[in-house]
Structure 1
Amino acid sequence: MLNVRLPIVASVCLLAGQLAHANVEVTFVESAPKDRFILHNTSQCALNDLTVHLDLSNSVGRLIFDTTATGAGVEVFQPFEVKKGNLKLISASEVKDGDSTLSLSIENIAANDSVSFTIDVDDTLTQSELGNIRVSGSEISNALIKITTKGQQTSAAMFDNKGKALVSLPSC
């Protein structure tokens, strides 16, 4: 009887492992003077060799990155800075003031762990909920986050009105 159960249990465990989905929850946190983007791996498997593309151009608040004292941003500015994890900017050597996109390379995110970076984000609306130097969750709505895995599969999600986006990646 025991010999019959072992293959069944092993098959069920193998099948469950194959069906594990990898999700990344991306959160925008408005904070003065630095805004924060957190990418949290909510899956039970490590994610390796990811490329992340963040595009604010279709956001409700017409958001931009404010990285220098002069240019398109308003008052307070902050350049791109890694806060946690093995990630680096790959779209350019730096994010330029007024840019609305950036791309990152993430070496790895352990299961149920996160990586993060800070940068200043401003809206460009003539009338905005919190003024141009602070961004509400609703102003980041419709911004796009795309993640490409090392297998070259790309998944995307749009931010909601609470500053969150859930990217469903292929099974791990």
Structure 2
Amino acid sequence: MDSRLDRMIARLTTQRRALERAAEEIRGLPGPVLEIGLGKGRTYSHLRKLFPERQIVAFDRDLHAPADAAPTGADLVLGDFRETLPALSGRMPWVPAALAHADFGSEDRARDAAQAGWLAGLIDPLMAPGGLVVSDRPLQAPRWTALPFETPEWPYFIWRVG
């Protein structure tokens, strides 16, 4: 049986591999990066390293990240995803996103599954054709195609937007 530390290392290692693959896949595609679930800002910090030239917009219900691991101003959007994600498409000027990373998983699998049921429909209209959605939970949208991504140590998912 793995310890909680072993599981955390597996999750973060897999997450880093998925984001690094995504960075390669969208290299020539313009558009911002969406961080859906800022949390403590660890992934946001890594996204800044991977995409220093791109705008990164982070979403979360509340701010829990330290100041050096969170965006400022309009690039930090706090509130319920069901309200904040649809409002983003109304911001001008808006360029569709090249990448959305949705890290919203918890230990409550039933709650996560329910959230996954509506979250993909909010992410999809924000995405550029050819963009990627990367997530720690399975999502589904009609124009997304799953990309092969081997994750024996922790489940993680990558889709290309058609």
Structure 2-normalised TM-score?
Answer: 0.32
Q: Which has the larger radius of gyration?
A: 1
- Structure having the higher helix fraction is 2
Query: Comparing both structures, which one devotes a greater share of its residues to strand?
Result: 1
Greater relative contact order (CA < 8 Å, ≥ 6 in sequence) = 1
